[in-house]
């Protein structure tokens, strides 16, 4: 889709509508549902392992199945979003995300469970890259860090509330009921999204000229910039895949995903089996790191956008948040593992996850900026590498926990966090395009 100058009316109209924020809320609900679906198995993992006679190493492989399929689908589904528009692709993803958890509840052993997790990973693959592509057309560049923080706030809210909800369902109806209840959410979301969302704000009746001017900006003659939604540009695969900056961004995101995936996979098991935390306490005290992560999402994206807007430098605005975030996340994870106190461990994990999550908004905003109109493909590459790194979390933690090594994995995580900081300092350039310059407009 190339940018054109459309002879729309000038921006001197009434107050702008807020339709883009309703779009953001709708997309954020998808993030919530996806993370509820991928994280609910962590609550049921001890019961599933007992029923199917699985070791922690086997459970680690099952958990990794999601991330393998998730990683494999990132680039092709992200490309589909660029090619055919977010509306069609995200609607189908919503329906698939509704069916996949139900299949998890119908499993009868290790192999069927692995197949169900693979299907869930494939169903969710590309959801966030395509959503980023959808938001790229709906929000000004100066809002991208904040909106990424808000959408991922919902994903972290899902991780925070899922243990309590899933535990209540499991205690009342058994672990299979968790997947049946959660599975209905995706289908309902797909119906609502298909009804309300449009690929471009120009197509939405609820968007007035003032809001459109805010999103698109103005030309020199005062007319509003817009896009020719009919033209489909050829994806510059060679330039994207050959851009070193693309892979630096991807590996940096892999460092983030390696650390954060612990909270989606082994965190409840760690608290229950090593810290001897009850299900009731898990639903309360165990949620603290996830709540802090939600705050970190908003704080990181907001601060980064504010610095970019004030200085005009994306390089400064993104790095000044991401680098300290990584370093402090690595610093706090060490005492979380070493302490003998259940409370101190949770509080240190809370601090670690807060600082790790401030990295999230800048990371996704950078990929949207350097990917331009191919941001679905670019963020797909980034999230593919991140998912592969996340699969290592499930396997490494599971294998070490299985051997009674409950502290060592956290030192691995701390080292990865330091590596992430170094990548952001010396390698990632938030202002260097990974596509042809003309495609970056708008």
**pLDDT (mean) for 350-358:** 95
* Domain definitions of the chain by residue range: 15-214+245-433
pLDDT score, position 220: 63
2 against 403, higher pLDDT: 403
pLDDT score, position 230: 43
The CATH number of domain 15-214+245-433, selected from 1.10.390.10, 1.20.58.1880, 1.20.1250.20, 3.40.50.720: 1.20.1250.20
Model confidence at 8, in pLDDT bands (50, 70, 90)? very low
Enumerate the H helices of 261-374 as residue ranges. 262-265, 267-269, 279-284, 288-311, 314-338, 342-357, 360-371
Whether the CB-CB separation of 127 and 93 falls below 8 Å is answered with yes
Model confidence at 322, in pLDDT bands (50, 70, 90)? very high
Q: How confident is the model over 232-260, as pLDDT tens digits?
A: 567 888 999 999 999 999 999 999 999 98
pLDDT score, position 415: 96
The span from the CA of 401 to the CA of 268, in Å, is 13
pLDDT, mean over the chain: 85
Q: Is the pLDDT of residue 70 over 60?
A: yes
Q: How confident is the model over 30-52, as pLDDT tens digits?
A: 999 998 888 788 778 888 888 88
Q: Is the pLDDT of residue 357 over 90?
A: yes
Whether the CB-CB separation of 167 and 283 falls below 8 Å is answered with yes
pLDDT score, position 2: 39
Whether the CB-CB separation of 74 and 381 falls below 8 Å is answered with yes
pLDDT score, position 163: 77
The span from the CA of 328 to the CA of 310, in Å, is 25
Q: Is the pLDDT of residue 320 over 50?
A: yes
Sign for the CA dihedral angle at 420, 424, 430, 436 comes to negative
Q: How far is CA 321 from the centre of its chain?
A: 18
188 against 387, higher pLDDT: 188
Q: Which two tokens stand for residue 30?
A: 């998808």
Q: How confident is the model over 153-173, as pLDDT tens digits?
A: 898 788 778 877 888 888 888
Sign for the CA dihedral angle at 42, 47, 49, 52 comes to negative
The span from the CA of 72 to the CA of 94, in Å, is 18
């Amino acid at each position: 889709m190339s940018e054109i100058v459309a002879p729309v009316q000038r921006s001197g109209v009434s107050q702008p509508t807020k339709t883009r924020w309703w779009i953001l809320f709708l997309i954020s609900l998808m993030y919530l549902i996806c993370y509820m679906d991928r994280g609910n198995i962590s609550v049921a993992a001890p019961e599933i392992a007992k029923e199917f006679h699985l070791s922690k190493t086997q459970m680690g492989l099952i958990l990794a199945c999601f991330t393998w399929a998730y990683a494999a689908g990132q680039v092709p589904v992200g490309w589909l979003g660029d090619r055919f528009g977010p509306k069609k692709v995200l609607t189908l993803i919503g329906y698939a995300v509704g069916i996949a958890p139900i299949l998890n509840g119908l499993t009868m052993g290790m192999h069927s469970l692995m197949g169900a997790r693979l299907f869930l990973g494939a169903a969710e693959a590309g959801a966030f890259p395509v959503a980023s592509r959808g938001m790229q057309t709906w929000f000004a560049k100066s809002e991208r860090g904040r909106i990424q923080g808000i959408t991922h706030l919902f994903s972290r809210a899902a991780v925070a509330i899922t243990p309590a909800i899933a535990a209540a369902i499991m205690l009342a109806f058994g672990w299979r009921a968790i997947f049946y209840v959660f599975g209905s959410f995706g289908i309902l979301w797909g119906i609502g999204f298909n009804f309300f969302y449009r690929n471009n704000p120009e197509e939405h009746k609820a968007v007035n000229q003032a809001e459109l001017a805010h999103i698109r900006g103005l030309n020199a003659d005062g007319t509003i910039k817009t896009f020719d939604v009919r033209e489909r540009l050829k994806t510059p695969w060679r330039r994207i895949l050959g851009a070193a900056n693309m892979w630096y961004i991807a590996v940096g995101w892999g460092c983030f995903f390696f650390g954060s995936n612990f909270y989606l996979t082994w965190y409840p098991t760690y608290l229950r089996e090593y810290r001897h935390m009850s299900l009731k306490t898990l639903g309360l005290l165990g949620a603290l790191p996830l709540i802090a992560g939600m705050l970190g999402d908003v704080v990181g994206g907001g601060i980064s956008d504010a610095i970019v807007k004030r200085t005009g430098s994306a390089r400064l605005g993104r790095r000044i948040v991401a680098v300290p975030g990584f370093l402090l996340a690595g610093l706090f994870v060490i005492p979380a593992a070493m302490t003998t106190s259940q409370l101190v461990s949770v509080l240190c994990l809370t601090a670690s996850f807060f600082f790790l999550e401030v990295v999230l908004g800048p990371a996704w905003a950078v990929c949207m900026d350097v990917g331009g109109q191919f941001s679905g493909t670019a963020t797909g590459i980034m999230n593919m590498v991140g998912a592969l790194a996340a699969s290592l979390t499930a396997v490494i933690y599971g294998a070490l926990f299985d051997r009674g090594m409950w502290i060592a994995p956290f030192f691995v995580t701390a080292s990865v966090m330091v590596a992430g900081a170094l990548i952001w300092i010396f390698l990632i350039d938030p202002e260097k395009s990974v596509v042809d310059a003309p495609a970056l407009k708008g």
